[in-house]
Amino acid sequence: MFITETHKGGQFWNESHFVPHFQPIVNAINRSISAYEVLGRQFDPDENTYQSLGGLFHNREQDMVPVYNIDRVLREKAVKHLKDSGLRTKLFFNMMPNFLSRVHHTDLFAENFHIIQLIEKYGINRNQVVIEITEDEFDGSIERLIQIVQIFRDYGLKIAIDDLGSGFSNLERIGYLHPDIMKVDIQIMRESLNKNSFKQVLGAISEMSQKLGSQLLFEGIETEEEVNLALSMGANLLQGYYFSVPNPHFLNRSTFSEKMTTVLENFSNHRSKELIEKGIREQNIIDKLNEVFNGFEETSNEDFAFNFKKIVDSLPSNILKIFVCDKDGYQITPTYDLVKEAGEYQEKMNQIGNNYAWKPYFLKHKAEADRFRKKWGVTYPLYDIRNQNQYVIFTFSLSENRILIAQVDWME
């Protein structure tokens, strides 16, 4: 039996008191439990309760030898529990970069890694294990960490990056490790419910996960609102107290199927209404601009700028900025910026000649106009940090050689 002394006044730790707990991870696609995160707990016989070991594992002042031994005990108990259960579920194991780097500083062979030894010992399937590289102030060799992660991957294990959004090394870790799964930190998720800037960051993480081919997992979910946010960002894996606290046993795979069915139906109905409302708003702008610019196709180059200026005051009140480019992206009219306090547009001549051909919305509009003869284009909502407002950009082919660009207030 493993017994070691702590740094708390001579208290002893007993191996039997360390019990792995499992928090279910629900797959939104099939509405069932597809995996569990393994979390360390210590049983307190005096209080008859389990205490989290998170503080122990993340304490940089702690002697690493007993921590390493406790981690091994918990890991083996978790793998044995998986074997004994006979389930085909996955287990997520947390591993800190510094911890890996210190323990495996030489002899980087698969057979030297404890988790691989356990897989071989208990005969579980390799695809049932996911290695979570947790947020950590990594001070080891990044080359060695990459080698270690590649050993796991070559052996057949999946790689996840944990606590995404909580630190400043995330982009570096993603770039080097190219994870199979990206886990979003609960704090950035909660901030995004109230702050637009966090929501945009979350959207960027979502888009990045799709481009990398990584699955997106939201952890720490506690409310249906947070479930809906996760779903809206494309997360197919969900974890948190909204479903279950960590416990020492596995749950029935379909425990949350009925709950997820209701959640998904509510989300789908709500999101469909939002998209319909968005489409109506866009069509209202399109109809109004069509009305204002009716007949402009025939305007000569000599008269165009003069006539364009005359109709500016007829624009819808939610157009913040408007100008026209030629088909190569060069601005051919002044920019007209709305001064809300005065209720009129300010003319800016000095922007004539600016080029927007490199802008994604311009490139997309031009490609769709050429290929599909599409006249209109609209971006997803963007954010103006100077004016603290959300907007979209409409593009409109006034003629074969003139493309109108309008920035429209999307907060109203």
What is the pLDDT at residue 402?
Answer: 94
Write out pLDDT tens, residues 243-274: 999 999 999 999 999 999 999 999 999 999 99
> Could you tell me which of 412, 410, 408, 411 has the C-alpha nearest to residue 320?
408
Q: Report yes or no: 234 and 202 within 8 Å, Cβ to Cβ.
A: no
User: Cα-Cα-Cα-Cα dihedral of 394, 398, 401, 404, to 10°?
Assistant: -30
What is the pLDDT at residue 61?
Answer: 62
Which of 34-48, 56-70, 153-167, 325-339 is predicted least confidently? 56-70
Looking at residues 74-87, what average pLDDT do you find? 96
Looking at residues 310-326, what average pLDDT do you find? 92
Three-state SS letters, 35-46: EEEEEEEEEECC
Domain 3-255: CATH superfamily is EAL domain (3.20.20.450)
Over pLDDT 90: what percentage of the chain?
58
Domain 275-409: CATH superfamily is PAS domain (3.30.450.20)
What is the pLDDT at residue 349?
Answer: 95
Tally the residues of the chain.
Answer: 412
Matching residue, tokens 């209404």: 273
Q: What span, in angstroms and rounded, lies between the C-alpha atoms of 185 and 191?
A: 10
What is the value of pTM for the model shown?
A: 0.86
Band of residue 10 on the pLDDT scale cut at 50, 70, 90: very low
What is the pLDDT at residue 58?
Answer: 64
Q: Report yes or no: 26 and 32 within 8 Å, Cβ to Cβ.
A: yes
Band of residue 47 on the pLDDT scale cut at 50, 70, 90: confident
For residue 140, pLDDT over 90 is answered with: no
Q: What span, in angstroms and rounded, lies between the C-alpha atoms of 172 and 226?
A: 27
Looking at residues 266-295, what average pLDDT do you find? 93
Write down the domain spans for the chain.
3-255, 275-409
pLDDT top residue among 224 and 11: 224
What is the pLDDT at residue 5?
Answer: 44
In this structure, what DSSP letter does residue 355 have?
B
Q: Within 10 A of 139 (CB to CB), how many other CB atoms are there?
A: 9
* Strand, helix or coil for residue 219: coil
Q: Within 10 A of 38 (CB to CB), how many other CB atoms are there?
A: 23
Matching residue, tokens 């997520």: 92
For residue 81, pLDDT over 90 is answered with: yes
What is the pLDDT at residue 321?
Answer: 95
What is the pLDDT at residue 59?
Answer: 62
Q: What span, in angstroms and rounded, lies between the C-alpha atoms of 273 and 266?
A: 11
Contacts 24+ apart (CB under 8 A), 296-303: 296/398, 296/399, 296/402, 297/398, 297/399
For residue 100, pLDDT over 80 is answered with: no
Looking at residues 130-150, what average pLDDT do you find? 79
What is the pLDDT at residue 7?
Answer: 42
* Side chain identity at residue 313, one-letter code: D
Q: What is the mean pLDDT of the chain?
A: 87
* Strand, helix or coil for residue 303: helix
Looking at residues 198-221, what average pLDDT do you find? 89
User: Cα-Cα-Cα-Cα dihedral of 282, 283, 284, 288, to 10°?
Assistant: 110
Judging by DSSP bridges, how do beta strands 344-348 and 376-378 pair with one another? unpaired
Band of residue 4 on the pLDDT scale cut at 50, 70, 90: very low
Alpha helices in 44-128 (DSSP H): 54-57, 64-85, 97-103, 114-122
What is the pLDDT at residue 45?
Answer: 85
